[in-house]
Amino acid sequence: MKIVSPAPDADLPLTERIARAMPELTRAQQRMAAFVLDNTFRAATMRIDEFAEAVGVSIATVNRFSRALGFDGYPQCRAAMVRGFEATLAPIENLRSSKAQVTSVGDLIANSLTQAIQNLEWTRRALDAGTCERAVEAILGARRIYILGLGASGYLAGLLHHGLDPYCENVQAVVGAGGSTHAARQLFKLREDDLVIALGFPRYVIDTVTLCRRLRARNVPMLVITDSPTSPLAPLGAITLFVRATRRIGSNSESSVLAMIDALCEAVAQQAQHSVERTTELTDFLLPWLDVTTAAAAKPGPGNRAATDDKPNPPAKVKKDSAI
């Protein structure tokens, strides 16, 4: 009589399910098991027909494989593959869902802009006045400021550096060709009177989290800009600013983060001592590289017609006996 093994525990990891079932799997099923183990992330993104084609089996064989692992069918098996990759896979699933819908380009752009507005409104409502005050005070009181952003946040870090540089004596962006180890070498020099501004959003870069944990252990003050209290960076900052950056297609939206950067730099400019003098001197120094003639010609002045006035002046009446 054939002995039937008990059904696997519902919470059993997929790898352990495969290990337990492997001796009883057919050759085709073992080939599928090997594919899943070697390409778990890729397999998790596949529909049943895509998975069957990738392994070279039929859809029915894929369902039998799923049942051999103790699942009711492929949807449950795929859900187990996805487990742990939810945040990483979300942009892929959102894009897949969006492509299945018939939507005009104009509507797509309008929907994206609407979501950006919603992100900004959520961020504005979630602002805490005390936290904002402490963030600006920390920036203006720091001996040195290092801005840490890796991945897409590296571009945002560069813009934050650009915005703070006129008002702070020593600001550096920890990005560049040296990678994470070079960033670690730079950050190693920081002390308790310095400040690190760390930016991190889904999908979080592990190196950013690792560097911030090391800095926290060394008591280096950190201002964290991230998306939510569940972010791995959120508990690491002495000060944390939350920016909603959700995006229907893609891991996150940079527009609301950039708006927060602009707002933070504006607050620093308002509170910094001698900011007017510094800005004036900087502008004077940059004049050789600025196209001031075009700007002056475009700006309406006294006696010039405003650009918004779409009613032309009536033509001047010419007397018949006037000289031409």
List the CATH number of the domain containing 245: 3.40.50.10490
Q: What is the dihedral of CA 92, 95, 97, 101, to 10 degrees?
A: -170
What are the φ/ψ torsions at residue 153 (nearest 5 degrees)?
Answer: -65, -15
**Most confident region among 31-45, 181-195, 255-269, 292-306 by mean pLDDT:** 255-269
Q: Tell me the per-residue pLDDT of 112-169, one tens digit each, with 9 for 90 and over.
A: 899 899 999 999 998 999 999 999 999 999 999 999 998 889 999 999 999 999 999 8
Q: How confident is the model at residue 5 (pLDDT cuts 50, 70, 90)?
A: very low
pLDDT reported for residue 241: 95
Mean pLDDT confidence for 285-299: 74
Q: Please give the Cα distance from 213 to 116 (Å, whole number).
A: 31
Asked if residue 123 and residue 58 are part of one domain, the reply reads no
Mean pLDDT confidence for 160-189: 84
Asked if residue 181 and residue 126 are part of one domain, the reply reads yes
Asked if residue 181 and residue 62 are part of one domain, the reply reads no
What are the φ/ψ torsions at residue 195 (nearest 5 degrees)?
Answer: -145, 135
Q: Which residues pair with 198 in a beta bridge?
A: 148, 224
Mean pLDDT confidence for 185-213: 90
64 assigned to some structural domain: yes
Asked if residue 79 and residue 118 are part of one domain, the reply reads no
Asked if residue 58 and residue 121 are part of one domain, the reply reads no
DSSP structure class, residue 10:
T
99 assigned to some structural domain: no
What are the φ/ψ torsions at residue 115 (nearest 5 degrees)?
Answer: -65, -35
201 assigned to some structural domain: yes
Distances in Å between the Cα of 194 and the Cα atoms of 40, 60, 126, 219, 222 are: 43, 62, 27, 10, 9
Least confident range of 124-128, 183-187, 213-217: 183-187
Tokens 């959520």 -> residue:
122
324 assigned to some structural domain: no
| Alpha carbon of residue 148 to chain centroid | 14
202 assigned to some structural domain: yes
Q: How confident is the model at residue 6 (pLDDT cuts 50, 70, 90)?
A: very low
CB of 145 closer than 8 Å to CB of 139: yes
Alpha-carbon Rg of the chain, whole angstroms? 29
Q: Tell me the per-residue pLDDT of 67-102, one tens digit each, with 9 for 90 and over.
A: 999 999 999 998 888 776 656 666 666 676 666 676
Q: Tell me the per-residue pLDDT of 15-61, one tens digit each, with 9 for 90 and over.
A: 888 888 888 999 999 999 989 888 888 888 888 999 999 999 999 99
Asked if residue 249 and residue 206 are part of one domain, the reply reads yes
Q: Is the peptide bond before 247 cis (omega within 30 degrees of 0)?
A: no
297 assigned to some structural domain: no
Q: Please give the Cα distance from 173 to 147 (Å, whole number).
A: 5
Asked if residue 118 and residue 46 are part of one domain, the reply reads no
240 assigned to some structural domain: yes
Comparing C-alpha atoms, which of 169, 134, 167 is closest to residue 266?
Answer: 167
Asked if residue 179 and residue 248 are part of one domain, the reply reads yes
Determine if the pTM surpasses 0.85.
Answer: no
Asked if residue 53 and residue 121 are part of one domain, the reply reads no
DSSP structure class, residue 250:
S
Total domain count, the chain: 2
pLDDT reported for residue 324: 37
Structural domain including 73 reads 14-84
Comparing C-alpha atoms, which of 223, 231, 253 is closest to residue 140?
Answer: 223
What SS3 state is found at 128?
coil
Instruction: Give counts: helices (H), strands (E), the chain.
Output: 15, 5
Least confident range of 105-109, 126-130, 293-297: 293-297
* Domain CATH for 52: 1.10.10.10
What are the φ/ψ torsions at residue 202 (nearest 5 degrees)?
Answer: -55, 140
Asked if residue 159 and residue 258 are part of one domain, the reply reads yes
What SS3 state is found at 188?
coil
Q: Which residues pair with 225 in a beta bridge?
A: 199, 241
Asked if residue 79 and residue 113 are part of one domain, the reply reads no
Average pLDDT of the chain is 83
- Where does a domain end: 281, 297, 318? 281
303 assigned to some structural domain: no
Least confident range of 115-119, 157-161, 183-187, 238-242: 183-187
Asked if residue 199 and residue 66 are part of one domain, the reply reads no
pLDDT reported for residue 239: 95
pLDDT reported for residue 322: 40
Percent over 70 (pLDDT), the chain = 80
Residue 42: how many other CB atoms lie within 10 Å = 14
